[in-house]
């Protein structure tokens, strides 16, 4: 465990907790966290996770914009359910992205876990996009992914990060409950 990993983990807890509260400060705090974690994952040769963190940086900016854009004509995004067809399309793109990234990492790098890391990356992008769009389905997907991440990080000796993702799992359960009770959903 490094000081960098510890600081990134603390920021991660704060960012995810703020997300469950629908507080837009989750995005800039999350931005700092993902940039720090990109370096942590580079150091342990989880290259897909490193790239994921860099994509997350862009998605952090997108989420911040989605949640805070002003104007009377277009309100900031509200919690909603993703219809079945777009949800299945997104998951299909997650599969394709996972396979493509896994093949690339397996063939061209010395990645420690190219296929698992790529699958977690592909589906994490789907979950992050859904989160930025305030889709309730982001939370059960995060729960599944976080549980698998815990195992991967334990395997790689990133014990603090494994503990962080175990905590993320619990926070995701809380987020799923809270977003399903959102007043906007209740009135729909």
157's CB contacts (< 8 A; 6+ apart) are 44
80: β partners: 135
What is the average pLDDT across 13-17? 93
135: β partners: 80
Q: Determine what percent of the chain is predicted with pLDDT higher than 90.
A: 70
110's CB contacts (< 8 A; 6+ apart) are 45
In tens, the pLDDT along 43-94 reads 988 888 899 899 999 999 999 988 887 654 445 678 899 999 999 999 999 9
Residue 77 lies in a domain: no
Residue 38 lies in a domain: yes
How far is residue 12's CA from residue 6's CA, in Å, rounded to a whole number?
10
Residue 79 lies in a domain: no
In tens, the pLDDT along 131-147 reads 989 999 999 999 999 99
Residue 102 lies in a domain: yes
Residue 182 lies in a domain: yes
Residue 78 lies in a domain: no
Cα angle for residues 170, 64, 68 (degrees, 5° grid): 110
Gyration radius of the chain over CA positions: 16
- Full-model pTM: 0.84
The pLDDT of residue 75 is: 53
In tens, the pLDDT along 101-132 reads 999 999 998 988 999 999 999 999 999 999 98
How far is residue 165's CA from residue 170's CA, in Å, rounded to a whole number?
9
The pLDDT of residue 88 is: 97
Residue 30 lies in a domain: yes
Structural domain span for residue 12: 3-69+85-187
Number of domains making up the chain:
1
The three-class DSSP label of residue 80 is strand
Residue 76 lies in a domain: no
């Amino acid at each position: 465990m490094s000081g960098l990993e510890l600081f990134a983990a603390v920021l991660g807890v704060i960012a995810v907790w703020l997300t469950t509260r629908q507080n837009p400060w989750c995005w800039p705090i999350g931005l700092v966290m993902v940039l720090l974690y990109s370096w942590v994952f580079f150091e342990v040769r989880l290259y897909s996770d490193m790239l994921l963190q860099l994509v997350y940086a862009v998605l952090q900016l997108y989420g911040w914009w989605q949640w805070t854009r002003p104007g009377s004509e277009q309100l900031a995004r509200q919690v909603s359910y993703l219809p079945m067809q777009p949800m299945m399309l997104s998951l299909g793109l997650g599969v394709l992205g996972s396979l493509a990234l896994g093949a690339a990492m397996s063939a061209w790098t010395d990645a420690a876990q190219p296929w698992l890391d790529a699958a977690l990356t592909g589906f994490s992008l789907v979950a992050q996009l859904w989160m930025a769009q305030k889709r309730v389905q982001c939370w059960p997907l995060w729960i599944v992914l976080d549980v698998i991440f815990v195992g991967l990080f334990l395997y790689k000796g990133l014990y603090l990060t494994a503990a962080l993702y175990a905590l993320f799992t619990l926070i995701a359960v809380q987020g799923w409950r809270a977003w399903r009770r959102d007043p906007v959903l209740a009135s729909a």
